[in-house]
Structure formats: C-alpha cells, structure tokens
Amino acid sequence: MASPPLAPCLAFHVKRCEPELIVPEKPTPHELKSLSDIDDQEGLRFQVPFIWSYKNDSSASPSMTGQDPVKVIREALGKALVYYYPLAGRLVEGYNRMLFVDCNGEGVLFIEADADISLEKLGNSIQPPCPFLHEVLFDVPGSDGILGGPLLLIQVTRLVCGGFILALRFNHTMCDEFGLFQFLNTLAEMAQGAQVPSIPPVWQRELLVARLPPRVTCTHHEYPQDIPACLWKCRTHALKVDPQEVVRVSLFVTARGKQHGLSLPLGYYGNAFAFPAAVSKAGIYAKPVGICGGVGEEGQSRDEPRVHKISSRSYGDQRATALYRPAMAFPRISYYVKNKNKGEDGILVPMCLPFLAMERFQQELMVMNMYKHNTNPFKIISTL
C-alpha cells in the first residue's frame, strides 16, 4: 500500500505491507479479566498514538548492528505478549456497560513499512503535533474501535539512513503511559535477548475498584510544580479573561509511588492517575507564580495538617458517586516533555490558542523568564 505524498516542504512516500496480527509466542490463559474503576471510566475509552525515532547508531547497541528493526521488534513483540497476554485480547462490555478483557490471544496489529526519507530531513517535524503521523501510523480500517478490536497497533518504518520510526496506538482503558512504557521496556529487553522481563507485569485491577457503598475517606491535596502554574498564568493572561471570572487549572497526578499511600505493587500497568483541579478568579494571574500555584489554599482551614496521604481506593469511591454523568473526553489537556532544540535542553509544551492570544502568550512567557520566582512547594485543594 502506497501513501499519498505530504506537503512539498516535507514530501516523502511510505510503502506499507499488509497489517498482520502478532500473537503471544507461547500459549497463554484464556480468561475474562475485569478492569479497575479508573480503567473503566467513560472518558478513557479512546486510542492514544505515540511516535519515537531512532538513529542508526551502532555504538548505542552493538548487539543490534546490522539487524532488521522490523524483524527484531516483531519477534520481541510475540515474546513480550506472553507476559502481557491481556494486551493480545479484546474488550467486551458487560452489565451496565462495564468493560472486561477477553484474553483470547487474537493478537495485536503490526505493520511493516519503508519510507524514502532520512531522519535528518525529518528534523524537528517529529515533535508534536507531528504532521505526518498518519504516514508512520496507518489507521487500519475497523481497528480504531474500543470494543472487539486490537488493543495495540504498532508500525515500524525503516528510513533510508538506516534509522527507523516506531509508532504505536494503544487503547487507553488498558493502561496509562507508565504502564505502556513498562510494556515497551519488556519489549526492548526481549529484543536484546532476555528470557523474562526485569519487572514482571502485575494485573490486580481490583486494587483500584470502589467499595460499595462508596466511602470517601479524605480530602485530596496535591503539590503542583511551577511549570503548570506558569503556563496557566500565561494562558489566562493571553486570553484576556475577565479578572472576576472563575477559571480552572487541572494537573495530572499519578497514584504510583509510596508518597500516595496506595501501595500499588511494582509492575502494575493499569491506569493509576487522576486530574485534580483548582479554581480561582482569573485576576490572580496578575500575582506572582507562587501565588498562582496556591490556588484554593485560601479555603483551607488553618488547623489542617501540612502532610497528607490519599487513602486507599478513595479516588475510586468518589468516581463511583459520579458514575452516571462521566466526562466524555479530555479536550484541554497538554503534556510537557523533555526536548532538545539545536542541542539545547528544554521542555516542549503543545498549546493551542487563537493567533493574537498566542502572541500575548509568548510575550508573557518571555517577560516571566526575565525574573526569578519563588520555587517553594505550594499546596492546592483538589475538587475530586
């Protein structure tokens, strides 16, 4: 299958082989597995694409020199699925639209491809939003549904320079980014000859299932970083929001790690995150970043302790109380990632604003970078 060319500024062709199903290399259990209440949210029923590029660097992995990345990844995928066999299954719906994984071993979609372009010519175009994502991650007809379809799609595209692009799309109900990277780490280990993963995968989705009846045990308190506060301040200023209008900032918080008190086992690869939100009048953007980060603190009792823990399963309990009116999507989420710009380390943040607002956003960010701000931790009260 040949794809149409892109815009003249970045024109290249991708020749793809027919999609194939990769199944676990060895027999795996055929069973029905339930998901956690976080996995089962209506708002997570969508597919998420990822893209990585790899140079032809023999010094980085001498054992891989001269090997075909397509062949290596295809074989490693079959080995990794033995341990992550639920990913080779299909989602089915039960009572009250609850999702289950039918571990039937049907496999994940895999596409072999070749592109007539080098990694050097692609340059910074690989950064999000990637303009040629559909070229290196073909949307196989009928594969993008949530129920009954493959839970993972992988395309490996060879480049003329000897490098390659690895792109994938995964069903978000199965895992979050941490879980995905854990699976990819196992994939890399298998590609390098490992027989078992260094971190065995753990299912145990019952750890994040709400109690019946729901019992909220504590108020959530989160500690955001300066970067989200800075971006929120610049965005609010750029949009010229009325100072009296109530605005919100929502921050990604993972439940992994000992500090949250959930005691999720090492190897757990299900969804384990939340988006606590803080609210305040927009006029706060005129204050220093440290104060912006303290949104919601004014409503806190002076007698409340400064050290907090999230009680086990309390998020799932709160989620169960709102089961009948779920959030359908995440239209206003931005992720910031490490990035290099001409050799200089930095942070890349996708942002979508009207043209004039974007200019004001850039100006505000430049002004902010000229001054030092208080970087002490600050506390907000979550609306979860």
Question: Residue 206 falls within a domain, yes or no?
Answer: no
* β-strands 337-341, 273-274 pairing: unpaired
Question: Residue 3 falls within a domain, yes or no?
Answer: no
Most confident of 1-5, 70-74, 95-99, 298-302: 70-74
Domain that holds residue 261: 221-381
d(CA 109, CA 141): 12
CA angle at 144 for the pair 138 and 150, rounded to the nearest 5°: 95
State mean pLDDT over 53-57: 85
Cβ atoms within 10 Å of 302's Cβ, excluding its own = 4
If we measure between CA atoms, which residue out of 243, 265, 247 comes closest to residue 256?
A: 265
State mean pLDDT over 351-357: 87
If we measure between CA atoms, which residue out of 15, 191, 192, 12 comes closest to residue 119?
A: 12
- Kindly report, residue by residue over 203-247, the tens digit of the pLDDT: 999 998 887 776 666 555 444 466 777 877 888 888 888 888 887
Question: Does position 88 have pLDDT exceeding 70, yes or no?
Answer: yes
Task: Give the per-residue pLDDT at 371.
Answer: 62
Question: Residue 229 falls within a domain, yes or no?
Answer: yes
Kind and range of the H or E run holding 246: strand 246-250
Q: How confident is the model at residue 320 (pLDDT cuts 50, 70, 90)?
A: very low
State mean pLDDT over 52-63: 73
Do residue 104 and residue 232 come from a single domain? no
Do residue 238 and residue 164 come from a single domain? no
What are the tokens at 56? 């032809």
Task: Give the per-residue pLDDT at 284.
Answer: 65
If we measure between CA atoms, which residue out of 43, 239, 7 comes closest to residue 132?
A: 7
State mean pLDDT over 239-261: 75
The CATH number for 86's domain is 3.30.559.10
pTM for this structure? 0.72
Question: Residue 216 falls within a domain, yes or no?
Answer: no
Q: Check residues 179 and 67 and name the one with the higher pLDDT.
A: 179
d(CA 309, CA 157): 45
Do residue 185 and residue 95 come from a single domain? yes
Question: Does position 1 have pLDDT exceeding 70, yes or no?
Answer: no
State mean pLDDT over 42-63: 81
Of the listed ranges 94-103, 279-288, 302-311, 353-362, the one predicted with least confidence = 302-311
Do residue 56 and residue 178 come from a single domain? yes
In the chain, the N- to C-terminal Cα span, in Å, equals 47
What are the tokens at 145? 């549904």
Task: Give the per-residue pLDDT at 214.
Answer: 66
| Domain final residue, candidates 148, 173, 201 | 201
- Dihedral (CA of 191, 83, 181, 97) sign: positive
State mean pLDDT over 15-34: 97
Do residue 177 and residue 248 come from a single domain? no
Percent of the chain with pLDDT over 70: 70
Contact 16, 144 (CB under 8 A): no
- Annotate 147-176 with b (16+ C-beta within 10 A) or e (fewer): eebbbbbbbbbbbeeebbbbbbbbbbbbbb
Task: Give the per-residue pLDDT at 234.
Answer: 85
Do residue 299 and residue 357 come from a single domain? yes
Q: Which amino acid is at 356?
A: L
d(CA 230, CA 361): 11
